[in-house]
Amino acid sequence: MSAKINQFATQMLAEVISNKKVGPYHHMVFAVGEMASHVKPGNFVAISVGGEQSSLVLRRAFAIYRALDKGPMGGSIELVVAPHGQGSRWLCQRAVGDLVDFIGPLGTAFGIPTVNANAMLIGGGYGSAPLFALAELLKNKGCRVDMVLGASTATKIYAPLEGKRSVSSLTLTTDDGSTGIHGQISEAIPRLIREFGTEVIYSCGPMGMLAAVAKIAEEFNLVHQCAVEESMACGIGVCMTCVIPVKNEDGIKMIRSCIDGPVMDGSQVIWDRKTVMDAL
């Protein structure tokens, strides 16, 4: 475990204090005590799923939606969980009062501008969850915050009303046109960058979307920080299942997204895996 990145990470049994279904997702709140005070936007937790008798021996990584260091039960962490796989379905079935094995907070966090800047936050589906706490932090720093949320259909856009409270403007896009702008989220970005005078981009979501946003950021010569969605098994840098190729002075370097990420410089990530294969 990286002493620098994860110096405050701890393992604990976190009590479920709320589990509410919101559209196709579950909004879950866990009592974590002091752990909450060390969370920054972009961090994640690694959770043991399946129970003691389960064959699911590897942990699952979940991006932190929000952390509150004060409350009726002390510090808490909120997650937005999509019940897609066996592990996430098990987590969504936990009841209030159940205990869940947490390790966190893990990973890198989003960098905050040292001066006021016009920031665009781009999120795809439930992958946009970490952006809401980031939006609040940037707003409190005096930055203009424009949020763009996209998904395949309207029901898969998480918490659009909350997004509207935290930002200067909120733009929604859907592939099927069921709400907001009709089309993929990347199609709307160039016009919005010009309209809002964007100076820095933050993004979370599927890898294909992040790659498209990285290309646009390069065309506009903008700083782009992205939280990559690479599958993680341990979350602490041991198993090497989440490596991702990035550019370095020697050409290409493979780094672990759980330790060196999930937040990375979008301009350094090699999004086209064919480029990596050609270089080997």
Q: How many domains does the chain have?
A: 2
Q: Report residues of the chain scoring pLDDT below 70.
A: 1-5, 52-56, 71-73, 159-164, 273-280
- Helices marked H in 206-257: 207-219
Domain boundary among 65, 81, 106: 106
User: Which residue blocks in the chain are alpha helix, DSSP H?
Assistant: 86-92, 130-140, 160-166, 185-196, 207-219, 273-279
Task: Choose the final residue of a domain: 106, 138, 154.
Answer: 106
Q: Give 198-252 pLDDT, tens digit per residue.
A: 999 999 999 999 999 999 999 999 999 999 987 777 777 777 788 899 998 878 8
Residue 4 in domain: no
Is 194 in the same domain as 69? no
Packed helices 185-196 and 207-219: angle between N→C axes, nearest 10 degrees? 30
Domain boundary among 53, 85, 106: 106
Q: Domain of 100: which CATH number?
A: 2.40.30.10
Q: What are phi and psi of 188, to 5 degrees?
A: -90, -20
Say if residue 169 is in the same domain as residue 95: no
CB 159 within 8 A of CB 131: no
Same domain? For 43 and 158 the reply is no
Question: Containing domain of residue 163, as a range?
Answer: 118-279
